[in-house]
């Protein structure tokens, strides 16, 4: 074994002026000074490593904290009623009734997925699943909102297949159904693809576990995979300082996943929880042991002493700093009472999971880390985990925005007559964002565990939680980055509204929100303004809809040079369903059903899929946000679904009514015959706007004819705008017939819709 020069607390006191590589580790001069002030001496190299990762943007939320506070401040007491655990823990927990609690969270793994698409995406899934596990829950399903550069860009052919294979390779092997998400292509994501991952899990409300180290003498146990040199970023600076030639070099800074180890870890952890031998639990994700030890200790009421040389290693040459920083996957840390230790180890043995007692909870107030006999870390844990720097970054409304908003779609030539409308519909269906995504989704197992009631391409994923009663949850994730670029406040609310609506179409009652806020550099005042606007918009919107934000993630620095991605606040909404077997699909499976459009159509084409696909245009103002209308719509859908009046329901979003109708036809190859006359007359729009406008708070509902009257009465009672459009099915071959305008067969729709991604990747 290599002799390692270890920088100790004693050495730090005796050698106060030693030069330290704080800048290389990403710390600012004032941050380094603050560390010295907290400790009353220079940090050891291990302490410096810990602070540098824990005070990074990713772990400390130092640029976003001042804005994210709004999520808590705007959560009313009424919204809090069904919140069992709110923001700040590994994931929020929501009460869904009958003694069940559900936990869900969405997170980003953007940068690693660009560097190494397969492993980056795979470990993104692994990380979010461990967050859910560490709440004490059994993970139920995953979802993946993905954004790539232009489909025809050569690098997309590298990133897209790798990301999809990585998500599939990890999730399929882990045994979690993938029930939805998004796939978006836009050149703004060219050097910055967004790979977001959501996991949802369930537990009995009384079984919630928290990341907290309490009880003097309780054992600190590390279990799961061994620690290796993967996922060490800036710490290599320290490593190269302490020794020159020895040791492994060029370690990947992207972690490598082992889904089998994670599957075993899930089953093992659930057995540990069930046996009642776990007092506190934390997963090891970003910042590895630095994060787990400091957060557990910080959340507890005492200190912690850890013997770092006991950590089982894959690579015996790792230094203490590297062990503290390593982001090796599939590891967990538990706080275990001494009397439970034997039972704990019996269970980990049964699953052949390595478990090591690293140390114990102390009655002090410091986190102390030893390397053999040397004290290498001696810090107040709160200063590492929770009291990091907080910045009020300058923000400024971007100068380009006035011009962008003025440059609206009124100048664009519109399709002429039925043939023109038909042509534009086919163009939208065959566009990268509008096409059939089965090339992606068929690489994911949607059936495993047997509880999936709805998955892609339905509007929301639906999974059963309780096998006896059928109670379960519906989940959707959404964001239209174009809208957010035009107006980030409205864009965030539109993302919320769409996800909320998608959940409501299934017949679920929306309950809670998690968000993944993907933005450019916080050091750019324009980006920071977008961020502040989006957070405020989302917090205001959640307050109005009565759905609390339970947690989430911020991803900054998604930009290349000076060019940031569109602001992309991806919003996940979770709803509860009494019986998942009764939920509505997005397409009709029978002819002769009455088709209704709920909601009002305005001429709103700015930022639309039509402007993007047909004219490569982005400008103007996004559609009007009307959250009161969204709430009314959700109420109507819930009431109608409970009354058994709904055959299918499909949200209107990108591509408007035209795309919703076409997707409804394609779902089960049953046509539709509709008239736009009523819409023209009531809403004062022409056929083009009726078909392609993206006004919000609208849903296309198919109703069994025998329930049509009851459905109309229910809408009237709810104050819901409703318009009969026509019926499902068509004369002759199954077709979409828009009376007086055009007709297109299901076969032709499918030809336009299918094989788009395959063809682009093959070229």
Partner 1 sequence: MRIGVVTFPGSLDDGDAQRAVRLAGGEPVPLWHADSGDTLLHGLDGVILPGGFSYGDYLRCGAIARFSPVMGAIIPAAQAGLPVLGICNGFQVLCESHLLPGALVRNDHQQFLCRDQLLRIERTDTAWTSDFTPGQEVLIALKNGEGGYVADEATLDELEAEGRVVARYLEVNPNGSRRDIAGVSNARGNVVGLMPHPEHCVEAGFGPSLDGLPFFTSVLRQAVLA
Applying CB under 8 A, the span of 193-201, 313-321, 442-450, 714-722 interacting with partner 1 comes to 442-450
Choosing from 452, 505, 636, 693, the residue that interacts with partner 1 (CB under 8 A) is 452
Nearer to partner 1, 173 or 708 (CB): 173
CB of 435: closest distance to partner 1 in angstroms?
18
CB of 348: closest distance to partner 1 in angstroms?
13
- Which x/- pattern, by CB under 8 A, does the window 126-165 give for partner 1? ---------------------------------------x
CB of 446: closest distance to partner 1 in angstroms?
6
Nearer to partner 1, 65 or 449 (CB): 449
Choosing from 43, 124, 168, 575, the residue that interacts with partner 1 (CB under 8 A) is 168
Answer yes or no whether residue 631 interacts with partner 1 by CB under 8 A.
no
Nearer to partner 1, 176 or 426 (CB): 176
Answer yes or no whether residue 457 interacts with partner 1 by CB under 8 A.
no
Burial of residue 38, with CB atoms counted within 10 A of its CB: 0-12 exposed, 13-18 middle, 19 or more buried: middle
Answer yes or no whether residue 450 interacts with partner 1 by CB under 8 A.
yes
CB of 581: closest distance to partner 1 in angstroms?
3
CB of 588: closest distance to partner 1 in angstroms?
17
Q: Are 507 and 634 in contact (CB under 8 A)?
A: no
Nearer to partner 1, 182 or 330 (CB): 330
Nearer to partner 1, 427 or 761 (CB): 761
Applying CB under 8 A, the span of 19-27, 444-452, 517-525, 614-622 interacting with partner 1 comes to 444-452
Answer yes or no whether residue 677 interacts with partner 1 by CB under 8 A.
no
Residue 109 annotated as catalytic: yes
Q: Are 143 and 461 in contact (CB under 8 A)?
A: yes
Residue 58 annotated as catalytic: yes
Answer yes or no whether residue 274 interacts with partner 1 by CB under 8 A.
no
**Paired tokens of 655:** 């591509």
Answer yes or no whether residue 440 interacts with partner 1 by CB under 8 A.
no
Answer yes or no whether residue 346 interacts with partner 1 by CB under 8 A.
no
Answer yes or no whether residue 447 interacts with partner 1 by CB under 8 A.
yes
Nearer to partner 1, 387 or 579 (CB): 579
Q: How far apart (Å, rounded) are the C-alpha atoms in residues 681 and 690? A: 11
Q: Compute how many other C-beta atoms are within 10 angstroms of the C-beta atom of residue 241.
A: 17
Answer yes or no whether residue 166 interacts with partner 1 by CB under 8 A.
no
**Paired tokens of 253:** 């800074």
Answer yes or no whether residue 451 interacts with partner 1 by CB under 8 A.
yes
CB of 262: closest distance to partner 1 in angstroms?
10
Those residues with Cβ within 8 angstroms of residue 646's Cβ, 6 or more apart along the chain or in another chain? 507, 584, 637, 640, 701, 702, 703, 711
Instruction: State which H helix or E strand residue 48 sits in.
Output: helix 45-54
Backbone angles phi, psi at 577, to 5 degrees: -125, 135
Q: Are 639 and 714 in contact (CB under 8 A)?
A: yes
Answer yes or no whether residue 747 interacts with partner 1 by CB under 8 A.
no
Q: How far is CA 559 from CA 92, 106, 194, in A?
A: 29, 21, 11
Applying CB under 8 A, the span of 67-75, 169-177, 247-255, 412-420 interacting with partner 1 comes to 169-177
**Helix or strand or coil: residue 686?**
coil
Please tell me what DSSP assigns to residue 675: -
Those residues with Cβ within 8 angstroms of residue 486's Cβ, 6 or more apart along the chain or in another chain? 404, 405, 606, 607, 618, 619, 620, 621, 622
Answer yes or no whether residue 449 interacts with partner 1 by CB under 8 A.
yes
Choosing from 61, 152, 252, 351, the residue that interacts with partner 1 (CB under 8 A) is 351
Those residues with Cβ within 8 angstroms of residue 81's Cβ, 6 or more apart along the chain or in another chain? none
Q: How far apart (Å, rounded) are the C-alpha atoms in residues 575 and 82? A: 12
Q: How far apart (Å, rounded) are the C-alpha atoms in residues 430 and 748? A: 11
Nearer to partner 1, 370 or 444 (CB): 444
Catalytic residue among 67, 109, 566, 617: 109
CB of 575: closest distance to partner 1 in angstroms?
17
Those residues with Cβ within 8 angstroms of residue 88's Cβ, 6 or more apart along the chain or in another chain? 551
Answer yes or no whether residue 735 interacts with partner 1 by CB under 8 A.
no
Half-sphere exposure of 402 toward its Cβ, with a 13 Å CA cutoff? 2
- Which x/- pattern, by CB under 8 A, does the window 398-437 give for partner 1? ----------------------------------------
CB of 350: closest distance to partner 1 in angstroms?
8
Comparing CA positions, the residue from 368, 360, 313 lying closest to residue 341 is 360
Catalytic residue among 58, 67, 209, 617: 58
Choosing from 85, 225, 277, 453, the residue that interacts with partner 1 (CB under 8 A) is 453
Answer yes or no whether residue 261 interacts with partner 1 by CB under 8 A.
yes
Burial of residue 192, with CB atoms counted within 10 A of its CB: 0-12 exposed, 13-18 middle, 19 or more buried: buried
The C-alpha R_g of the chain, in whole angstroms, comes to 27
Answer yes or no whether residue 396 interacts with partner 1 by CB under 8 A.
no
CB of 169: closest distance to partner 1 in angstroms?
7
Answer yes or no whether residue 641 interacts with partner 1 by CB under 8 A.
no
Choosing from 11, 38, 150, 173, the residue that interacts with partner 1 (CB under 8 A) is 173
Applying CB under 8 A, the span of 255-263, 404-412, 674-682, 747-755 interacting with partner 1 comes to 255-263
- 3 state SS for 617-648: CCCCCCCCCCHHHHHHHHHHHHHHHHCCCCCE
Answer yes or no whether residue 260 interacts with partner 1 by CB under 8 A.
yes
Comparing CA positions, the residue from 304, 275, 346 lying closest to residue 211 is 304
Site residues for partner 1, window 572-601 (CB under 8 A)? 580-582
CB of 70: closest distance to partner 1 in angstroms?
40
Nearer to partner 1, 264 or 325 (CB): 264
- Which x/- pattern, by CB under 8 A, does the window 534-573 give for partner 1? ----------------------------------------
Those residues with Cβ within 8 angstroms of residue 632's Cβ, 6 or more apart along the chain or in another chain? 697, 718, 719, 720
Answer yes or no whether residue 443 interacts with partner 1 by CB under 8 A.
yes
CB of 451: closest distance to partner 1 in angstroms?
7
Instruction: State which H helix or E strand residue 678 sits in.
Output: helix 677-683
Q: How far apart (Å, rounded) are the C-alpha atoms in residues 493 and 565? A: 18
- Which x/- pattern, by CB under 8 A, does the window 464-483 give for partner 1? x--x----------------
Q: How far apart (Å, rounded) are the C-alpha atoms in residues 101 and 115? A: 37
Q: How far apart (Å, rounded) are the C-alpha atoms in residues 439 and 576? A: 30
CA quadruple 347, 349, 352, 353: dihedral sign: positive
DSSP string for residues in 395-447: ----TTHHHHHHS-GGGS----HHHHHHHHHHHHHTSTTTS--HHHHTTS---
Q: How many residues form the binding site for partner 1 (CB under 8 A)? A: 33
Instruction: State which H helix or E strand residue 564 sits in.
Output: strand 563-564
CB of 354: closest distance to partner 1 in angstroms?
14
Applying CB under 8 A, the span of 172-180, 205-213, 362-370, 704-712 interacting with partner 1 comes to 172-180
Q: Are 763 and 150 in contact (CB under 8 A)?
A: no
Answer yes or no whether residue 444 interacts with partner 1 by CB under 8 A.
yes
CB of 263: closest distance to partner 1 in angstroms?
6
Residues marked as catalytic:
58, 109
- For partner 1, the binding residues (CB under 8 A) are 165, 168-169, 172-175, 258-261, 263-264, 351-352, 441-453, 464, 467, 580-582
């Amino acid at each position: 074994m290599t002799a390692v020069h270890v920088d100790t607390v004693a050495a730090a006191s005796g050698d106060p002026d030693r030069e330290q590589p704080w800048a290389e580790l990403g710390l600012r001069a004032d941050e380094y000074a603050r560390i010295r002030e907290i400790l009353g001496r220079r940090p050891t190299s291990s302490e410096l490593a810990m602070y540098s990762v824990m005070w990074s943007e990713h772990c400390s939320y130092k640029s976003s904290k001042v804005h994210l506070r709004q999520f808590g401040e705007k959560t009313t007491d009424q919204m809090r009623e069904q919140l069992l655990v709110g923001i700040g823990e590994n994931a929020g927990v929501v009460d869904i009734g009958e003694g069940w609690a559900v936990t869900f969270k969405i997170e980003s793994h953007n940068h690693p997925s660009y560097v190494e698409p397969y492993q980056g995406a795979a470990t993104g899934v692994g990380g979010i699943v461990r967050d859910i596990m560490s709440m004490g829950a059994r993970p139920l399903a995953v979802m993946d909102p993905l954004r790539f550069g232009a489909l025809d860009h050569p690098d997309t052919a590298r990133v897209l297949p790798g990301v999809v294979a990585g998500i599939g390779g990890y999730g399929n092997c882990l045994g979690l159904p993938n029930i939805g998400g998004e796939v978006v292509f836009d050149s703004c994501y060219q050097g910055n693809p967004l790979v977001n991952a959501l996991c949802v899990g369930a537990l009995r409300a009384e079984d919630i576990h928290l990341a907290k180290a309490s009880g003097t003498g309780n054992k600190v146990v590390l279990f799961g995979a061994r620690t290796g040199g993967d996922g060490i970023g800036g710490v290599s600076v320290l490593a190269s300082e302490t020794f020159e030639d020895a040791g492994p070099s060029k370690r990947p800074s992207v972690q490598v996943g082992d889904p089998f180890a994670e599957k075993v870890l899930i089953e093992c952890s659930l057995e540990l929880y069930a046996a009642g031998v776990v007092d506190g639990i934390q997963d090891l994700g970003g910042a590895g042991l630095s994060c787990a030890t400091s957060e557990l200790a910080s959340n507890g009421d005492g200190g912690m002493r850890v013997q770092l040389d006991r950590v089982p290693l894959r690579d015996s040459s790792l230094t203490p700093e590297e062990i503290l920083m390593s982001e090796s996957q599939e590891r967990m840390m538990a706080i275990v009472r001494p009397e439970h230790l034997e039972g704990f180890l019996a269970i980990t043995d049964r699953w052949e999971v390595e478990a090591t007692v690293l140390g114990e909870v102390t009655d002090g107030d410091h986190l102390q880390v030893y390397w053999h006999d040397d004290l290498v870390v001696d810090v107040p844990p709160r200063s590492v985990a929770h009291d990091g720097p907080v910045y009020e970054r300058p923000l400024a409304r971007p100068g380009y925005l006035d011009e962008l908003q003025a440059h609206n779609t009124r100048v664009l030539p519109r399709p002429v007559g039925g043939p023109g409308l038909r042509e534009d519909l086919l163009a939208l269906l065959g566009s990268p964002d509008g096409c059939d995504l089965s090339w992606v989704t068929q690489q994911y197992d949607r059936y495993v565990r047997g509880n999936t009631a709805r998955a892609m391409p339905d509007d929301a994923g639906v999974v059963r939680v309780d096998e006896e009663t059928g109670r379960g949850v519906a989940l959707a994730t959404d964001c239209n980055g174009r809208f957010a670029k035009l107006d980030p406040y409205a864009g965030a609310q539109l993302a919320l509204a769409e996800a909320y609506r998608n959940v409501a179409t299934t017949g679920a009652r929306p309950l809670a929100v998690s968000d993944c806020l993907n933005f450019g550099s916080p050091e750019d005042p324009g980006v920071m303004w977008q961020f502040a606007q989006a957070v405020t918009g989302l917090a205001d919107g959640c307050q109005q809809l009565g759905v609390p934000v339970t947690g989430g993630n911020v991803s900054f620095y998604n930009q290349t040079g000076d060019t940031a991605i569109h602001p992309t606040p991806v919003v996940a909404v979770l709803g509860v369903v009494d019986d998942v077997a009764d939920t509505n699909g997005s397409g009709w499976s029978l002819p002769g059903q009455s088709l209704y459009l709920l909601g009002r159509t305005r001429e709103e084409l700015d930022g639309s899929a039509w402007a993007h696909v047909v004219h490569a245009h982005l400008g103007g103002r996004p559609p009007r946000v009307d959250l009161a209308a969204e709430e009314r719509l959700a109420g109507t859908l819930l009431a109608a679904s409970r009354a058994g009046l709904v055959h299918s329901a499909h949200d209107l979003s990108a591509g408007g009514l035209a795309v919703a109708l076409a997707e409804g036809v394609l779902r089960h190859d049953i046509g539709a015959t509709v008239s736009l006359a009523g819409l023209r007359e009531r809403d004062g729009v022409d056929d083009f706007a009726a078909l392609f406008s993206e006004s919000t708070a609208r849903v296309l509902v198919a109703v069994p004819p025998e329930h049509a009257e009851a459905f109309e009465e229910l809408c009237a009672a709810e104050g819901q705008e409703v318009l009969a459009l026509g019926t499902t099915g068509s004369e002759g071959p199954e077709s979409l017939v828009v009376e007086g305008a055009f007709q297109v067969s299901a076969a032709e729709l499918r030809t336009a819709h299918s094989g788009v991604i395959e063809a682009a990747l093959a070229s």
